[in-house]
Amino acid sequence: MHILAIHAHPDDIEMLGSGTLALLSGHGHRITIATMTAGDLGSTEHSPEETAQIRMREATAAAALIGASYRCAALPDLGVFNEDSARRRTVELIRSVAPEIIITAAPADYHPDHEATSLLVRDACFAVTIPNYRTGKARVLGAIPHLYFMDPIGGRDREGNKVRPDFAIDVARFMETKRRMLSAHESQRSWVLKQHGIDNYVGSMEAWAAKRGKSAGVEFAEGFRQYTWHPYPRTPLLQELVGDALIPLNS
């Protein structure tokens, strides 16, 4: 299987889904990590162009730790909108990767780029099989990929309401890999401290994985929801691939 994880910014996937990706990679599945932006606003010291170069290098290094490749849709930070050209760009990216499973941002999350990414990816999945929806050189896909949403940051929407996952995946065995992947985003530690007042970048990731783990009855976990409305596939493909790491939650 080929799994595409696509979120807004470099480090979002490391925060919310990298343990699951490490598990899947270890089972021999192919992983592509993609971001809508290169995180070009995430610096007080460098220009957006310089920051984008630095952060794409970091994201590539993080992905390489689980044998994954990295792709960037090259939209600007705070410039992700669900509109025609961005949707075509997203469809072209998905068609060129041709995944069976896509894991993306939650529809409700603290950052506008996260919410727009979720809508773009959901709606791009709808379009990937339509031959006359033209986007570039990539081949039209034969089927809509299985679509999943990660937890929002902190498990809450923009009003602070809890967002409950359908299921969790036990990632305790992959926490060291998850730490190393997040740590590859070196330039973000100082930014997160200055902008968000969080002086423990890796610690905040661990704290969230532990909190989701606690709600799922394990030490560390990541939460997901499957989008199954018509015409998206309803078979629990990701749930089957993770085997005994799956923790169904009553929602």
* Residues that bind Zn ion in the complex, under the rule CB under 5 A: 8-9, 12
- Apex CA 241: angle with CA 91 and CA 201, to 5°? 70
Instruction: Name the residue nearer to Zn ion (CB basis): 100 or 115.
Output: 115
Instruction: Name the residue nearer to Zn ion (CB basis): 80 or 93.
Output: 80
Cβ 161 to Zn ion shortest distance, Å: 19
Helices (H) and strands (E) in the chain, counts: 9, 8
Cβ 238 to Zn ion shortest distance, Å: 22
Residue with smallest beta-carbon separation from Zn ion: 9
Cβ 118 to Zn ion shortest distance, Å: 11
* DSSP annotation of 151: P
Cβ 135 to Zn ion shortest distance, Å: 24
Cβ 23 to Zn ion shortest distance, Å: 22
Instruction: Name the residue nearer to Zn ion (CB basis): 12 or 58.
Output: 12
23-29 contacts at long range (C-beta below 8 A, 24 or more positions apart): 23/169, 23/171, 23/173, 23/174, 23/242, 23/245, 24/241, 24/242, 25/66, 25/67, 25/68, 26/66, 26/174, 27/241, 29/1, 29/2, 29/3, 29/241
Could you tell me how far CA 141 lies from the centroid of its own chain?
A: 21
Instruction: Name the residue nearer to Zn ion (CB basis): 67 or 154.
Output: 154
Instruction: Name the residue nearer to Zn ion (CB basis): 14 or 170.
Output: 14
